[in-house]
A and B are shown apart, each in its own frame.
Chain A
């Protein structure tokens, strides 16, 4: 069974601070996919990134960066120089692919609410 844990339920920072959101996952599959989604106050879920289990290369996109560590089953997300518009709930999600001939349902973590104050 797959499981995603986001231990930080709420984080509050001041604008321009860096912040890291933690994500730890559990899966028995050797092939799987990890995702981050952003849910702003308006409610929609915005796709941010997908990472494959066989690709541990870290990624940077503007102020966002992701650190995938297979050895610790973690996929952490860092926002550099945070802005008020970054305030949202961020979800980490996992999809298993091995031995699965069906659609790749997502299992979400509980989410981390990030509040960036001016």
Chain B
């Protein structure tokens, strides 16, 4: 079965640079979520999109922005990178099955490991 695809899998950037992470959800899934997991920590919710509209926002810094495109893939844009942004970034997707709020389990991608030097 198709899974959530994230690219790149690893990314090394310098401070103050920008980074773009991509996420391709499971086909026919209509909701995409972004999470950040720092070293030794639990994943923290950043932002989510339902049918290409932002649906919920968590602890996402103002330096970060995200969007979901017409083909349902999503991109997380990170600017003015700081050392503290080094983390594993997960994308997850779920299917509402036509119900709101969506209650179906979220399936996670393999993550993008971002290292800021």
**A-side interface residues toward B, CB under 8 Å?**
33, 35, 37, 43-47, 50, 52, 91, 95, 97, 100-111
Count A-B pairs with CB separation below 8 Å. 71
* Structural contact, B102 and A103, CB atoms closer than 8 A: yes
* Structural contact, A105 and B108, CB atoms closer than 8 A: no
- Bound form: Cα–Cα A95–B14 in Å: 35
* Structural contact, A45 and B103, CB atoms closer than 8 A: no
Q: Is B107 an interface residue (CB 8 A)?
A: yes
* Structural contact, A43 and B103, CB atoms closer than 8 A: no
Q: Is B90 an interface residue (CB 8 A)?
A: yes
Given A43-B111, A91-B43, A108-B43, the answer on whether A102 and B106 have CB atoms closer than 8 Å is: no
Given A35-B105, A103-B31, A103-B102, the answer on whether A110 and B42 have CB atoms closer than 8 Å is: yes
- Which of A102, A107, A108 is B50 in contact with, Cβ under 8 Å? A102
Name 28 A/B residue pairs within 8 A (Cβ), A-sorted.
Answer: A33-B103, A43-B110, A44-B108, A44-B109, A47-B106, A50-B104, A50-B105, A91-B42, A100-B101, A102-B55, A103-B50, A103-B55, A103-B94, A103-B101, A103-B102, A104-B101, A104-B103, A105-B33, A105-B45, A105-B48, A105-B58, A106-B33, A106-B43, A106-B45, A108-B42, A108-B43, A109-B42, A111-B42
